Chain A
Amino acid sequence: MRKKICSVRGILAICLILAIAFASYATYYKITHWGFGFTPHEGTEVWTVDAHITFVPTGEPIEVALSTPRLGEEYKILSEDVVAKGYQITKDEKNHRLIMKSGPKKSEQSLYYRIMLYDNEDVVGKVRDRTSPKVKKPIFESEQQKGMVENIWALADAQDDDGTAASHIIKLLNDEVLEPEVDAYLPVKQSQSIMAEKIIDLLAYKGIAARIVRGVKITEKKREAPADLMLEVYEGSKWRIYNIVTGVSGLPKNFVVFQRGGVSLFDVAGGHNSEIRFSVIQSAVSSFKMAGRRAEYENSRLFNYTIYNLPTLEQNTLKWLMIFPLGILLVVLLRNVVGIPTMGTFTPMLVAMSLVRTGFWSGLICFSLIILLGLLIRTLLTRLNLLLVPRISAVVIFVILIMQMLTIFGYQYSFKIAASAVFFPIIITAWIIERASITWEEEGARNATKQIVNTSLVAVLTYFVISNPYIRHIMFAFNEWNLVILIIVMQLGTYTGYRLVELKRFAPLIKEKE
């Protein structure tokens, strides 16, 4: 006999361990691969980047080409959108260029390219490129200029930190107090792109290939700002990216590359005074919506078979259902471990469900009101000596009428509490009234009140569990834990220890003996 239980418990224990392992792994997977969070408000940051191209048409056919970020690189693209009315849009996938063509136009043109980005995967700013690039050696106008360059390199090589040649050069050119040689080399009018070109020239002198990278630094509330520049230097067999001002290498977390190398960021044929401006808006999208996108990148079909891929309506229904196992576990604990007797096993659970829809206090007051009125009417019915089925049916109808009355009065006097009456399960409420009334007659008011209080108490406890947004979120996002709950409930089916209330009930049995 003992062995048999041991094995039942043993099997359940093994199942429990397996279930916990499975649920833990699923949780880990969902967090790392699908980006689920533990709190309901946690969403993924999504950046909307607008590239705004403006130009004045010259009257000739227009062709606008724009370098676009590569899909799946650094940032992932959630959606891509072009607003260019009257333009024919094609995409040059190979060169990552967006081409917009149109016949001649008259007024100033305004084209928008909008992408929604998410997830700055930690790209270290190194883009592999096997083919070693050709370096165009600079042609110097004079020997004097060549001497200047050599002087600068001498200064750069003299810096003794462990930076690369490129970082030394960048630092040298950005010193607060410039060395005389550098000062002489740089033009009077400085802009970021001129600086970048000068650096490229300097590096080319030593045979180091470098190129300009244009993109957008993603910072909140960027409005109509010009493109940001960075420098990419070919080192070893990789392109390494440098900040053009500080000489720090590596792609900053918040930088989206639109264009790199020889091609331009954008070209406009058939227009002049062309300009590109970038705007950035930050927003948050729920983890569940993003999960599908992430799964797409991972080529994970698994996602199609989860609840998160369902239409919102079904998702909401399931979200509502997913919380119940925990409520059921609570009911089992309260009945079999604590030992609180309630009216009907799952009645408290159903009342708790109604409380979630009505709101706590208004629901509780309303529920008490219905029960109280119902009991009054039931007392009157007792005198009529009706048979059971018609009597309970009469109580059901009375409950419906009470609900109607409360709702109408609640609406008339803008007394919201009463208006929530309709959410209570009619049949269950009627049975509570019937049972309470029978208990009242047979075992006295005290026992009847005790039963109602017990039932309400368990309902309130269940309510707090199933209405908690954090618990709800976790049970929905990581619904594998319901499997663990199932096994725990089964384990509780083999619990043969004392109930908490029994410790009190049987207490006199021991005390006397001592």
Chain B
Amino acid sequence: MWDYFKIFSNPKKFREHGVLGMNARNYYIIGRNNKRSLYPLVDDKVQTKTLADKININTPHKIGVIEHQYEVKDLLKIVDGHSEFVIKPAHGSQGKGVLVIKNFSDNVFTTASGKQLGFNEVYQHVSNILSGLYSLGGQYDTALIEELVHFSDAFQNFSYQGIPDVRVIVYKGYPVMSMMRLATKESDGRANLHQGAVGVGLDMRTGHANNAVSHNMPIAIHPDTKADLMTLQVPMWKEHLMIGALAYEMTGLGYLGADIVLDKFRGPMMLELNARPGLAIQIANRRGLKEVIKNVDKYYPQDLTAEQRVDYVLNNAT
């Protein structure tokens, strides 16, 4: 019977390793650093995109926005001239409700998985987005149509379909922890760890893999592509960190998560921001967040520009 309890660890050891729990995150980190009034800036992707453009953060170009049901019929007019694009809910999370159109010609929409959709089906999908099906509280939403990201080949062997992205946790403007999320067969092309995606912890100085987990358990190779995860290196690492650091300037959120994808042509692009990023990143890095955050509070210099902060991290991160 006692064996069962062995799955629980001693909280004392957790504290020693600086593991950040959900309660402590909400109380100390989010409660203190993230003003509630700033949430709409990151919860609404249209707003985030507008802000990002102002501060020169790379994001996929906006094609159009549909706010009202009567505008849905104008969809064809909006996407006219674009053969590939993405339709997503402005208030969606975890990739819910994202429709990727790989090819659009002769009124036929071909999705990423090769499925062919007619106008009616896409119309229905946009209507669902507007009625709030994918938004957090079920409130009315806006559909955002933007350009398709052309994923870099750098991670071709590491992800089973889907979109590999880099999640950077930014505390008081300093990127403190990061991981790469790789889709698996089980996660069905999605990059959510609790759905079975692989999390790869990244070294803050280099952007090189330092650790990998699947379902909370350590792994060395990708379960589907059999790629050696420890060889993973994120190109343009400094640019990734710059997006994170600038996101702090842009939103004023003291604790945020930036989801970044690497475009073949345009380099790292910010897909979305999160005001309450999860804690699974600690497992992927096999490292507690509290420890790093403490260091930022104690030793990291204040009043630096975004670039100076990134340089500081690149040189001093432990």
A interface residues (Cβ-Cβ under 8 A, vs B): 1, 336, 339, 385, 387-389, 442-444, 494-500, 502-513
Partner of B11, one of A1, A339, A495, A503: A503
Given A508-B217, A509-B282, 16 other A-B residues pairs in contact with their CB atoms under 8 A: A388-B132, A388-B133, A388-B138, A495-B27, A498-B19, A498-B24, A499-B22, A500-B8, A502-B14, A502-B21, A503-B14, A506-B14, A507-B9, A508-B286, A509-B17, A510-B9
- Docked Cα-Cα span, A513 to B27, in Å, equals 27
B286 lies within 8 A of A387 (CB)? no
Given A507-B9, A508-B213, A509-B288; A498-B127 close (CB under 8 Å):
no
Residue of A nearest to B138 (CB): A388
Indicate if B157 sits at the interface (CB-CB under 8 A).
Answer: no
B7 lies within 8 A of A504 (CB)? yes
B27 lies within 8 A of A496 (CB)? yes
Contacts of B32 in A (CB 8 A): 1
Interface centre among A385, A497, A500, A507 (most CB of B within 10 A): A507
B11 lies within 8 A of A498 (CB)? yes
Indicate if B34 sits at the interface (CB-CB under 8 A).
Answer: no
| Cβ of A381 to closest chain B Cβ, rounded Å | 13
| Cβ of A25 to closest chain B Cβ, rounded Å | 33
- Docked Cα-Cα span, A235 to B286, in Å, equals 89
B19 lies within 8 A of A506 (CB)? yes
- In which size bucket is the chain B interface? 35 or more
Contacts of B185 in A (CB 8 A): none
Question: Which B residues between 182 and 241 are near A, CB-CB below 8 angstroms?
Answer: 194-195, 213, 216-218
B21 lies within 8 A of A388 (CB)? no
Given A388-B131, A494-B27, A499-B21; A508-B11 close (CB under 8 Å):
no
Q: State the total of A-B contacts with C-beta under 8 angstroms.
A: 86
State the 6 A-B residue pairs at the shortest beta-carbon distance, nearest first. Answer: A496-B24, A498-B21, A388-B131, A503-B8, A507-B9, A388-B133
B96 lies within 8 A of A442 (CB)? yes
Tell me the interface secondary structure of chain A in the complex: helix
Contacts of A508 in B (CB 8 A): 213, 216-218, 283, 286
Given A1-B32, A513-B17; A507-B23 close (CB under 8 Å):
no
Indicate if B13 sits at the interface (CB-CB under 8 A).
Answer: yes
Contacts of B10 in A (CB 8 A): 503
Given A442-B96, A506-B283, A509-B287; A387-B24 close (CB under 8 Å):
no
Question: Which B residues between 88 and 106 are near A, CB-CB below 8 angstroms?
Answer: 96
Residue of B nearest to A442 (CB): B96
Question: Which B residues between 16 and 33 are near A, CB-CB below 8 angstroms?
Answer: 17, 19, 21-24, 27-28, 32
B24 lies within 8 A of A507 (CB)? no
Question: Which B residues between 259 and 291 are near A, CB-CB below 8 angstroms?
Answer: 279, 282-283, 286-288
Indicate if B128 sits at the interface (CB-CB under 8 A).
Answer: yes
- Docked Cα-Cα span, A500 to B10, in Å, equals 10
Given A496-B21, A499-B22, A512-B286; A506-B131 close (CB under 8 Å):
no
Interface centre among A387, A388, A442 (most CB of B within 10 A): A388
Contacts of B17 in A (CB 8 A): 509-510, 513
Partner of B7, one of A1, A339, A385, A507: A507
B216 lies within 8 A of A505 (CB)? yes
| Cβ of B297 to closest chain A Cβ, rounded Å | 9
Given A496-B28, A507-B8, A512-B218; A387-B22 close (CB under 8 Å):
no
- Docked Cα-Cα span, A186 to B40, in Å, equals 105
Contacts of A389 in B (CB 8 A): 131
A-B contact pairs, 12 of them (CB 8 A): A388-B133, A497-B11, A498-B14, A502-B19, A503-B10, A503-B11, A503-B14, A506-B279, A507-B8, A507-B9, A510-B14, A513-B286
Indicate if B50 sits at the interface (CB-CB under 8 A).
Answer: no
B96 lies within 8 A of A339 (CB)? no
- Docked Cα-Cα span, A484 to B158, in Å, equals 55
- Docked Cα-Cα span, A508 to B211, in Å, equals 12
A509 lies within 8 A of B19 (CB)? yes
Contacts of A512 in B (CB 8 A): 218, 286
Contacts of B13 in A (CB 8 A): 510
| Cβ of A89 to closest chain B Cβ, rounded Å | 72
Contacts of B194 in A (CB 8 A): 443
- Docked Cα-Cα span, A213 to B292, in Å, equals 88
Contacts of B96 in A (CB 8 A): 442
B8 lies within 8 A of A504 (CB)? yes
